[in-house]
């Protein structure tokens, strides 16, 4: 049950989120939906995968999001020769203490920016699996907790680009959402030229100051957990995910983890909208971003140029929103 405090924390959440969004949008112009989705993933304690062609501002978005929050940030540039231990850390023998000492890897930060994640070999990428799902790292039998909040923001080029490896399904499934930046509108591109066209050095990130503290984010995440999800909405999320497992265009459907992620993201989206309950609209708006990257289209669908997003949109159009109204109405008439 929502209390007065919770409602107050919801409104403070909205205010904080607005601040972060303002800061990020100062850097990434003309992409409010992308920024909003990034925030949603942050508040839902998920990880974000930014996929697009080079040069559209993926890394800029990741860095802007990281920098607008006052927290520890590490960046990993994924290269083909990157090793798993570079990510998780390594135990080094200390001559003086005559003992092994753990040197934490790049993943030990609150926001980890994995740039060009699909340029590393699958072996290296797999090093992220444990940390992303369980928020811990196990090296040489020792388990090390990761700090809260913990978010991986990874960027990648589409698989068709040269020198890339496809992400393993297990890893894709651990990302809560995938966004595509898309090209900016001509106006936004013009504004970008005006602001940064004269010098290479003047990055907009330089002006970006943190607008929220890490512990604020932790509180916000907890507030998001209080957002109410009605049975009908849960049912709807399950229906959507189940539909991906039977769609004729899909070879691999979404996992139960996808259902969890979808509902968590929908909670965050509702909280961002200042609502204390989730609507089917939240689920519908997030379904393509949350589900599409986990799905594998059949060869026939690929030949027909019907991608996973197409399948998700198709499912959204076909799946009825559970209508408890008929039942509720009958009950009401009986009263």
Partner 1 sequence: MTGQARLTVSAAVATLAASCAMLPLVDKSVWILQAAFLLALQSTAGVLARRVPLARPLTVAVQALTGLLLLTVAFAGEQAVAGLLPGPEVFHEFGQLVQEGAEDVGRYAIPAPATAGIRLLLVGGVLVVGLAVDAVAVTYRSAAPAGLPLLALYSVAAGLGQGSYGPLWFLAAASGYLLLLLAEGRERLARWGRVLSGGRTAPPAPGPATAGGGRLARVRTGRRIGALALGIALAVPAALPSMQGGLFEPAGRGAAPGSGPGGTTSVKPLVALQDSLNQPENRELLRLRSSAENTRDLYLRIVALDRFDGAAWQTTERPLTELPAVLPAPAGLAAGVRTSRVDTTLTASDGYAQNYLPLPYPAEEVRAEGRWRYEQEGRALVGERGQTTRGIRYQVSSLQVEPSAAQLAGAPAPPEEILRAYTRVPSSLPPVVAQTARKVTAGSANAYQQAVMLQDWFSVGGGFQYDTQVASGTGAEAVARFLAAKRGFCIHFSFSMAAMARTLGIPARVAVGFMPGTPMADGSVSVGSKDAHAWPELYFEGIGWTRFEPTPSRGTTPEYTVAEPSPGAEPGGGPAQLPDRTAVPPSAPKGTDACPPAQKKLGECRSPAAPVEGSGPASGSPSAGTVAGVAVAALAVLGLPLLPMLWRRRVRARRLGGPGTAPAAAAPADAPVDALAAGHTLAAWRELTDSAWDYGIPPDDSRSPRGAAARIVTAGALQGAAAESAGRVAAAVEQVLYAPRPRPVPGLAEDVECVRAGLHAAAGRGARLRAVLLPRSSARLLWGLARLRSFSRRRSAAA
The answer to the question of residue 247 lying near partner 1 (CB under 8 A) is: yes
CB of 304 to partner 1, least distance (A): 10
Residue burial 151-162, b: 16+ Cβ < 10 Å; e: rest: bbbbbbbeeeee
Give the SS3 label for residue 200: coil
Choose which of 55, 186, 248, 256 interacts with partner 1 (CB under 8 A).
248
The pattern of x and - marking residues 194 through 233 that bind partner 1 according to CB under 8 A reads: ----------------------------------x-x-xx
* Beta carbon of residue 287, minimum distance to partner 1 (angstroms, whole number): 12
Q: What's the DSSP call for residue 294?
A: G
Is 70 in a helix, a strand, or coil? strand
Q: How far out from the chain centre does Cα 156 lie?
A: 13
Q: How far apart are CA 150 and CA 132, in angstroms?
A: 8
Q: Which of 98, 160, 201, 246 binds partner 1 (CB under 8 A)?
A: 246
62-91: contacts with partner 1 (CB under 8 A) = none
Q: How far is the CB of 276 from partner 1 (least distance, A)?
A: 7
Q: Which residues sit opposite 93 in a β-bridge?
A: 100
Least distance CB 248 / partner 1 (angstroms): 6
How many residues belong to the site for partner 1 (CB under 8 A)?
38
3-state secondary structure 95-161: CCCCEEEEEECCCCCCEEEEECHHHCCHHHHHCHHHHHHHCEEEECCEEEECCCCCEEEEEECCCCC
Could you give the count of Cα atoms lying within 13 Å of 184 in the half-sphere of its Cβ? 19
| Residues 265-294 as x/- pattern, contact with partner 1 by CB under 8 A | -----------xxxxxx--x----------
The pairing of beta strand 48-51 with beta strand 177-179: parallel
Q: Is 96 in the site for partner 1 (CB under 8 A)?
A: no
Q: Of 293-322, which residues contact partner 1 (CB under 8 A)?
A: 315-322
Is residue 11 part of the contact set for partner 1 (CB under 8 A)?
no
Check residue 63 and report its DSSP letter: H
Q: Which is nearer to partner 1, 42 or 243 (CB)?
A: 243
Residues in the site for partner 1, rule: CB under 8 A? 1-2, 228, 230, 232-233, 235, 239, 242-243, 245-248, 276-281, 284, 315-325, 328-329, 331-333, 335
């Amino acid at each position: 049950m929502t209390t007065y405090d919770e409602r107050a924390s919801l409104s403070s959440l909205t205010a904080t989120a607005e601040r972060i969004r303002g800061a990020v949008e100062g850097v990434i112009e003309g992409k409010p939906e992308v920024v909003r989705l990034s925030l949603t993933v942050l508040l839902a304690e998920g990880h974000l995968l930014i996929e697009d062609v080079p040069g559209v501002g993926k890394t800029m978005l990741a860095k802007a999001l990281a920098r607008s929050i006052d927290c520890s940030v590490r960046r990993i540039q994924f290269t083909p020769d990157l090793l798993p231990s570079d990510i998780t850390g390594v135990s080094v023998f200390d001559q003086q203490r005559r003992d092994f000492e753990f040197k934490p890897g790049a993943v030990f930060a609150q926001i980890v920016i994995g740039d060009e994640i699909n340029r590393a070999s699958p072996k290296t990428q797999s090093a992220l699996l444990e940390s992303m799902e369980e928020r811990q790292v196990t090296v040489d039998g020792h388990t090390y907790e990761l700090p809260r909040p913990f978010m991986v923001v990874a960027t990648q080029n589409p698989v068709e680009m040269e020198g890339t490896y496809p992400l393993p399904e297990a890893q894709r499934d651990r990302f809560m959402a995938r966004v595509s930046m898309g090209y900016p509108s001509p106006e936004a591109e013009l504004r970008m030229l005006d602001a940064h066209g004269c010098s290479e050095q003047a990055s907009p990130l330089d002006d970006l100051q943190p607008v929220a503290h890490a512990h604020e984010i932790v509180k916000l995440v907890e507030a998001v957990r209080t957002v109410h999800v009605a049975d009908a909405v849960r049912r709807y999320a399950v229906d959507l995910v189940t539909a991906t497992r039977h769609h004729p265009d899909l070879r691999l459907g979404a996992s139960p983890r996808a259902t969890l992620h979808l509902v968590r993201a929908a909670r965050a989206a509702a909280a961002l909208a200042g609502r204390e309950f989730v609507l089917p609209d939240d689920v519908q708006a997030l379904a393509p971003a949350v589900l599409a990257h986990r799905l594998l289209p059949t060869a026939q669908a690929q030949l027909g140029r019907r991608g996973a997003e197409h399948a998700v949109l198709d499912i959204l159009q076909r799946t009825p929103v559970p209508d408890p109204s008929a039942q509720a109405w009958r009950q009401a008439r009986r009263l």
